Amino acid sequence: MAEKFDVIVIGGGPGGYAAAIRCAQRGATVALVEKASMGGTCLNVGCIPSKALLASAHTLLRAKHAAVMGIDITGATPNWAKIQQRKNMIVQSFVKGLGGLVQANKVKIFTGRGICTSQTTVKVESPAGATEIEASKIILATGSEAINIPAFPFDGQTIISSTEALSLSAIPASMAVIGGGVIGCEMACVYAAMGTKVTIIEALSQLLPKEEPWIARILAAEFKKLGIETLVGQAVQSVDKSSSPAKVMLANGQAIEAEKVLVAVGRKAICDGETVANLKLEMNRSAVKINNRMETNVPGVYAIGDAVATTYLAHGAFAEAEIAAVNATGGSEQMYDYELIPRAVYSFPEVASVGLTEAQCAAKNIAVRVGKSYFRTNGRAAGENETVGEVHVIRDTAANKVLGVSMVGPAVTELIGAARAMLGSSEHIEHVMFPHPTVSEVLRESWEDAFGVSLHAPPKV
């Protein structure tokens, strides 16, 4: 007889494990089906390993520029094997910890491929055989995969995705990065810091096309200092692998030599084809269609995270998991405004934003005042020698509230959570304490500027 649960979650990434734990905390009996390692893309081949590599790269850059701080360091060089080992140890310990956390919440983990055979039954296929489990509610959290370009598909050796880029056996002499989005910018920084000659080729007119143009301008200028060449508005026609290094051929006739070609042109949702067919799931291309309660077209079946192609962000998946878990366990919640989900890029310098951009406000005919502040006038940032960057706060002048915040600079990925918490608040920023001296004061100062109450900026004439 099939083992019965209240909820079955398929997929153990940030969406899936969060949903499973929340359902269990709300009193449900829960099964979690995962075919690979707990933690999904984020923990195994995404957010966490990339941040470990970026931290090693940042340490190397700080060591190389230590003379500015009055510290003489000679021979600062990367030990790639140790960098990889450290990254792998962080991932392994978190995977182990996560398994423990899920089990401590009395969630039963099934290892194998989970296929919905009906809206209440899941078959778990593994090399050891197949098991059937049942539940009145199912949450699909099956993730995403890197988009392949058919003209020059991934081969895992020369033409690679972010997965291979995180675990290269050696630092390549040269790398072409196709796609100047989030992954492209982050991995370009890792390898440029390690000494690789990096060229980014972005099809649209700027790096990070979803962010403000001023952000892309600062990023491109800083990337140049790191030795990264940025080509925007360029289409890649083919990759010639007949000789080593390979040649990336652009539509304009230019050829770029690269030992490794990282294709980072986005990700696409995955849902098991048999599940889609068995449940007659409504899809939006490869993504599962959902409403704002994270319900699919099949009663009792929910979908969240990358599988629904809403944010492709781990924290977006966490938010959706909370909604699906409440709804699958007798509660009633709706997903809140997706614009309020912060974006964070861990490049050198970092980029972070939340809410609307200036262009989005203009498109909605919203009159705004943009408050600005600069890291070069921040005492703590000066002391840290991290003076590149700006913060822009966008205030709706009619409604007198902040609609968006965009930042480039040190630690902005840490600051954006505070910016999100303050969006829409009517509290006067002058009354919110920011310790002095801290880098976080840039947020207060741009906010003050947006409301015309700056203390440290000269009066505008």
Residues tagged active-site: 436
- CA distances 236 to 165, 178, 233, Å, are 19, 8, 10
When the beta carbons of 145 and 333 are compared against ligand NAD, the nearer one is 145
Strands, E assignment, 96-153: 107-111, 113-118, 121-126, 129-140, 144-146
When the beta carbons of 138 and 344 are compared against ligand NAD, the nearer one is 344
Does position 417 interact with ligand NAD (CB under 6 A)? The reply is no
Sign of torsion over alpha carbons 38, 39, 41, 43: negative
Compute the least distance from the CB of residue 389 to ligand NAD, in Å.
17
When the beta carbons of 346 and 447 are compared against ligand NAD, the nearer one is 346
Nearest CA among 140, 136, 142 for reference residue 330: 136
Compute the least distance from the CB of residue 237 to ligand NAD, in Å.
10
When the beta carbons of 83 and 201 are compared against ligand NAD, the nearer one is 201
Q: 432: how many CB neighbours lie within 10 A of its CB?
A: 13
When the beta carbons of 114 and 305 are compared against ligand NAD, the nearer one is 305
When the beta carbons of 60 and 313 are compared against ligand NAD, the nearer one is 313
Measured CA to CA, the distance from residue 295 to residue 333 in angstroms comes to 11
> Which residue type sits at 257?
E
- CA distances 294 to 30, 114, 369, Å, are 18, 19, 36
Q: DSSP letters along 180-215, please?
A: -SHHHHHHHHHHHHHT-EEEEEESSSSSSTTS-HHH
Judged by CB under 6 A, which of 97, 153, 266, 273 binds ligand NAD?
A: 266
Tokens of 151: 């003209």
- Which residues between 140 and 159 bind ligand NAD (CB under 6 A)? 149
Compute the least distance from the CB of residue 15 to ligand NAD, in Å.
14
Q: 76: how many CB neighbours lie within 10 A of its CB?
A: 13
Compute the least distance from the CB of residue 251 to ligand NAD, in Å.
10
Judged by CB under 6 A, which of 30, 265, 269, 402 binds ligand NAD?
A: 265
Instruction: Look up tokens 């007889």; give the residue.
Output: 1
Compute the least distance from the CB of residue 28 to ligand NAD, in Å.
30
- Which residues between 187 and 246 bind ligand NAD (CB under 6 A)? 201-204, 209, 236
When the beta carbons of 265 and 323 are compared against ligand NAD, the nearer one is 265
Q: Which residues contact 49 (CB under 8 A, 6 or more apart)?
A: 87, 88, 90, 91, 166, 167
Compute the least distance from the CB of residue 151 to ligand NAD, in Å.
9
Tokens of 444: 């207060």
Residue nearest to ligand NAD (CB): 181
Question: Would you give the binding string for ligand NAD spanning residues 79-118, x where CB under 6 A is met?
Answer: ----------------------------------------
When the beta carbons of 202 and 358 are compared against ligand NAD, the nearer one is 202
Cis peptide before 153, with omega less than 30 degrees from 0? Answer: no
CA angle 221, 63, 44 (to 5 degrees): 80
Q: 72: how many CB neighbours lie within 10 A of its CB?
A: 7
Judged by CB under 6 A, which of 87, 137, 197, 267 binds ligand NAD?
A: 267
Asked if 57 and 65 count as a contact pair (C-beta separation under 8 A), the reply is: no
# binding residues, ligand NAD (CB under 6 A): 24
When the beta carbons of 271 and 352 are compared against ligand NAD, the nearer one is 352
- Which residues between 298 and 327 bind ligand NAD (CB under 6 A)? 312-313
Measured CA to CA, the distance from residue 291 to residue 139 in angstroms comes to 14
Sign of torsion over alpha carbons 284, 287, 291, 295: positive
The alpha-carbon radius of gyration of the chain (Å, integer) is 24
Question: Would you give the binding string for ligand NAD spanning residues 166-185, x where CB under 6 A is met?
Answer: ------------xxxxxxx-
Compute the least distance from the CB of residue 265 to ligand NAD, in Å.
4
Compute the least distance from the CB of residue 134 to ligand NAD, in Å.
34
Q: Single out the segment in contact with ligand NAD by CB under 6 A; choices: 25-33, 168-176, 260-268, 374-382.
A: 260-268
| Residues making contact with ligand NAD (CB under 6 A) | 149, 178-184, 186, 201-204, 209, 236, 264-267, 312-313, 344-346
